[in-house]
């Protein structure tokens, strides 16, 4: 029986019709093993209904394992994936957002994820060698063919979002964001004004709650929370369009993360966290 633990922080509607709970699951470390499959199943049981992946995560294994473990998908589960980053045989990362590459990538993702249509598809990186118009026109055409439902952008600036919206409706943006990494505050503010979902990847990276444990001890006691839970609670408090997508390979950590949705962080305590853990 599915729990609504992840729903405690409320929901967000992406693209006008995708209703998801405001904590997703990042899957950049998913492997083809029972541990990873158990985390995926438990996430859905806890009410996590936004699963974020990409065609290059663990060399396509992330998409493959998600498809094999969760398909046919429970009602309401949204799979978000991406393309545009390449990895050479030697392990070097590159960028390819040419129309031809994106078309091939979409077909591969559909097959691995066992989907007829991908609910949310991100351009993983803007390609400096390919005009943004060409990349997004290709994705819009795939949308019109019924292979993609909504299009998003990953690791982008405000100027890139504004340019992209000339060619496609942008349903979501996915940028790095955490309590201690807030370089995309301007992008988040824009998304909030425009009603665009903001998925925060690496939401627990470099958070400095542990470094200031003594100063923050009253908050940790007040909420009976771990430092990671306070960091996630702060993100959920930060903006109604912000959706953290922490990744984990541990059911215990998954349950800890999801439980952060139940922390009723006050405005004063949120300001304290923002000041201390910057």
What are the beta bridge partners of residue 25? 51
- Cβ-contact 57, 82 below 8 angstroms: no
Segments making up each domain of the chain, as ranges: 5-205+240-249
CB-based contacts of 251, cutoff 8 Å, min separation 6: 38, 39, 42
Which pLDDT tens digit goes with each residue over 14-47? 999 999 999 999 999 999 999 999 999 999 999 9
Among 1, 73, 7, which Cα is nearest to 40's?
73
Q: DSSP of 257-273, one letter per residue?
A: HHHGGG----HHHHHHH
Dig out the tokens for 252 from the structure.
């215990």
What digits encode the pLDDT tens for the residues 182-207? 999 999 999 999 999 999 999 998 77
Rounded CA gap, 47 and 254, in Å? Answer: 12
Dihedrals phi, psi of 176, to nearest 5 degrees:
-65, 135
The pair of three-digit structure tokens given for residue 235, joined into one six-digit string: 């993100």
Confidence of residue 3 (pLDDT cuts 50, 70, 90): low
pTM metric for this prediction: 0.96
What φ, ψ does residue 232 adopt, rounded to 5°? -70, -40
CATH of 5-205+240-249 among 3.40.50.300, 3.20.20.100, 1.20.1070.10, 3.50.50.60: 3.20.20.100
Residue for token digits 């799979």?
79
Strand stretches in 92-196, DSSP E: 93-95, 118-123, 148-154, 170-176
Q: What is the mean pLDDT of the chain?
A: 95
Q: Which residues are identified as catalytic?
A: 57
């Amino acid at each position: 029986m599915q729990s609504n633990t992840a729903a405690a922080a409320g929901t967000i509607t992406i693209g006008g019709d995708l209703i998801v709970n405001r904590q997703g699951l990042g899957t950049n470390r998913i492997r083809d093993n029972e541990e990873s499959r158990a985390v995926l199943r438990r996430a859905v049981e806890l009410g996590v209904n936004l699963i974020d992946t990409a065609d290059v995560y663990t060399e396509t294994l992330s998409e493959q394992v998600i498809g094999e473990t969760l398909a046919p998908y429970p009602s309401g589960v949204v799979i978000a994936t991406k393309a545009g980053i390449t990895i050479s045989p030697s392990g070097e990362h590159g960028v390819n957002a040419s129309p031809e590459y994106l078309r091939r990538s979409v077909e591969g993702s559909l097959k691995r994820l066992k989907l007829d249509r991908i609910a949310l598809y991100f351009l993983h990186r803007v390609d400096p060698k390919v005009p943004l118009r060409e990349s997004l026109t290709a994705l819009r055409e795939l949308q019109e063919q019924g292979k993609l439902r909504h299009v998003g952008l990953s690791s982008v600036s405000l100027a890139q979002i504004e340019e992209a919206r000339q060619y496609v409706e942008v349903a979501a943006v996915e940028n790095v964001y955490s309590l201690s990494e807030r370089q995309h505050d301007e992008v988040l503010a824009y998304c909030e004004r425009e009603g665009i979902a903001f998925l925060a990847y690496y939401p627990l990276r470099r958070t400095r709650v542990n470094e200031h444990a003594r100063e923050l001890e009253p908050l940790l006691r007040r909420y009976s929370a771990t430092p990671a839970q306070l960091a996630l609670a702060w993100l959920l408090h930060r903006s109604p369009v912000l959706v953290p997508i922490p990744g984990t390979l541990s059911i215990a950590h998954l349950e800890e993360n999801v439980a952060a949705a139940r922390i009723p962080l006050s405005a004063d305590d949120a300001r304290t966290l923002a000041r201390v853990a910057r």
